[in-house]
Amino acid sequence: MTEQTDLSIRELRRKFTKKCLSPSEYWLALEQHIEAWEPTISALYAYDPEDARRQAAASTERWAKGEPLGALDGIPVTLKELIATKGQAVPLGTAAVELVPAAEDAPIAARLREDGAVIFAKTTCPDYGMLSSGLSSFHKLSRNPWDPSQNPGGSSAGASAAAAAGYGPLHIGTDIGGSVRLPAGWTGIFGFKPSHGRIPVDPYYVGRCAGPMTRTVEDAAFSMATLSRPDWRDGTSLPPNEIDWMDLGIDVSGMKIGLMLDAGCGLPVDDEVRDAVVAAAKRFEEAGAIIIDVAPVLTRQMLDGLDVFWRARFWGDIMGLSEERRNSILPYIHSWAKGGADISGVDAVRGFNQTIEMRKSCGKLFAAVDAVLSPTNPIVSYPAEWASPTNDPARPFEHIGFTVPWNMSEQPASSINCGFSRSGMPIGLQIVGPRFGDMLVLQLSKAFEDWSGGVTNWPKRPA
């Protein structure tokens, strides 16, 4: 039987409408579930169950009158710590930042409040969101619910752990190089990075997106009508849309789908990951798609150029801090950032230009295919205490070869579970669509979820 805390958004709305379950009753059950898990995985920051009870009670009154505020009224939600909520500090995952309450809600938080969602906590991230890890100089170490000795990935570390552990149906992460999809792959959940600007963010930046992290494709799709409403604060925000986000049916017959098993550089793909992704591609082929082996879109020059640019940019962000504050940054990140101190403006621009090369490479590939399948992560897992899959600040981006190009090309991409390793850890399949092909990615993801049956045996609560 499905536990009450495992209900989907639509199931919860149905029960709220029939008055056989109230938002308050659901929250209290979820609160107990979180209390059982949180000491083990440390997914949350600024967790406030008392305020959540107040929000749920207000929602219960609205549902009792038949007057919900919006589609997500009464639905518990977490936001990645980097997403500002009025009155709460935004530590950026680091001990180096002065804790100043945010003056206003970021666009995502504002949209969720407009619809009556119960924002009950933030989720952890590493320093400045710069790692694919749950390691932070400010937050407790976040761990993977499938095996707490292992890393949940990042930088949306707490969001992925919370979703896998069942802290409600919806968690919002951010993604500039894979930070929604990478942890989704390592924790077995569904992570969706929409087209750039589809979900407004503040601050916005090249490649920076936000997206839902959920246990099912449907829950992510359902949230998009709320999250995708435009906001003037994001200069890249897309115009209002009339997308039917729940139109998830698709016939893949005749579709040309690329299968990319080599990222072009970075860590080699584990055999177990490769086998799981090939098996997933065969599911699409059996349904009538034409599977085409495709070459990488990324080169070593592109990835190294991005590394140079990001080091220079980040050093520029922190060089004004006092030495004491800079030294409180996680040593791995501080060591990496110091490499940007001596990068010239010319070299930084040359590095940035490699993002344009990525975009051109991705565009060329999509002139020949309708979608692309690949591993999300090249490796099965790595220790919770590591800062990255290499744990080497000189080689910080060796794991993002399959994910980062699609941020630079502004294309939608998802990660969905496609199997498990012999050690019992989840394996992620990445599904990439053309720019603005958000619905195609969701539809292909839902089709695969239906064929595979999805994840049915989520991690058990700690004893």
212-249 residue pLDDT tens: 999 999 999 999 999 999 999 999 999 999 999 999 99
d(CA 450, CA 217): 10
Query: Domain end: 228, 247, 268, which one?
Result: 228
Are 209 and 321 within one domain? no
The edge-to-edge listing of strands for the beta sheet with 209-214 is 44-45, 118-123, 76-80, 170-175, 209-214, 190-193, 413-420, 426-432, 371-375, 256-259, 290-293
Are 180 and 128 within one domain? yes
Are 28 and 106 within one domain? yes
pLDDT at 1: 37
Are 224 and 267 within one domain? no
Evaluate whether residue 190 is within a structural domain: yes
Evaluate whether residue 115 is within a structural domain: yes
- The CA distances from residue 396 to 190, 399, 405, in Å, are 24, 8, 16
Residue 171 amino acid letter: H
pLDDT at 340: 95
The count of domains in the chain is 2
Evaluate whether residue 359 is within a structural domain: yes
Evaluate whether residue 148 is within a structural domain: yes
- Per the structure, the complete domain to which residue 362 belongs is given by 256-299+317-339+353-452
Query: Domain end: 228, 245, 279, which one?
Result: 228
Evaluate whether residue 239 is within a structural domain: no
Which CATH number belongs to the domain containing residue 363 in this structure? 3.90.1300.10
Residue numbers in the chain where pLDDT is lower than 70: 1-2, 463
Are 153 and 270 within one domain? no
Are 277 and 182 within one domain? no
What length is written for the chain? 463
Evaluate whether residue 164 is within a structural domain: yes
Are 122 and 37 within one domain? yes
Cα 100 to the center of its chain, rounded Å: 25
Are 220 and 326 within one domain? no
pLDDT at 37: 98
pLDDT at 2: 53
Evaluate whether residue 463 is within a structural domain: no
d(CA 314, CA 209): 18
Contact 130, 177 (CB under 8 A): no
Are 216 and 267 within one domain? no
pLDDT at 3: 78
Query: Domain end: 210, 228, 246, which one?
Result: 228
Are 29 and 160 within one domain? yes
Are 127 and 174 within one domain? yes
Evaluate whether residue 348 is within a structural domain: no
Are 267 and 369 within one domain? yes
